[in-house]
Amino acid sequence: MTASYTLFIGTQTWSSWSLRPYVALMATGQPFELVKLRLRLPETRAEILKISPSGKLPALRLGDGEVIWDSLAICEFLAERHPEAGLLPQDAKARALARSYAAEMHAGFADIRDQLGMEFARTLPMPALREDTKIQLERIIAAWQSALTRFGGDFLFGRLSIADCMYAPVVSRFRTYGVVLPADVQAYADRIWALPAMQNWLKGSEAEIAEGLGFY
């Protein structure tokens, strides 16, 4: 089957922004080509600029050559282009809430990003957390519990949505640093981790580490 899309991603061990649209694209079932560019090298930005005008990854190239950049924009595009994937809830209120969850993750949680950086296939000791980091962790856990209780499915809004895609890197961070979670939140995190997209990403990160690429 001819690839409908080309998704350009960064180093899988580190690139949380790349992981999000990858999970969404996998959920659509559409064929795509995956192209990985190594991050944190002197030539990285110049190489990315050949693909993405923002100079950042991820970027999604369509069959007609159009390029969409930014994780959330790609997820939204895929949800609209492939409604059969259910990446946005059908109910208007639930859809708005799912977008609120996704946008909050997109714009916030700076202290978590700083102190609990994504190291996808690794297990690392928990650093001494700043108070703001603790508050942000509590916010994520409470938000997940609220959606899981309200919508009663395996994922935040019942079926896998762009909200789950946006929080997928957080699941990996929780595993890397051994964050202790309530039982219902842990069960949700385990379901996200078991997704084929996450397991594929894990293999990619493990391969990078085995080759020493995760340390440059």
Question: Domain ranges in the chain?
Answer: 5-84, 87-197
176-187 pLDDT, tens digit per residue, is 999 999 999 999
Q: Residue 41: is its pLDDT beyond 90?
A: no
With bands split at pLDDT 50, 70 and 90, how would you rate the model's confidence at 215? very low
Q: Residue 62: is its pLDDT beyond 50?
A: yes
With bands split at pLDDT 50, 70 and 90, how would you rate the model's confidence at 98? very high
Average pLDDT for 123-129? 97
Comparing 10 with 40, the larger pLDDT belongs to 10
Radius of gyration of the chain (CA): 17
With bands split at pLDDT 50, 70 and 90, how would you rate the model's confidence at 1? low
Among all chains, which residue has been given the structure tokens 């069960």?
187
Class of 87-197 in CATH:
mainly alpha
The CATH H-level (homologous superfamily) assignment of domain 5-84 is Glutaredoxin (3.40.30.10)
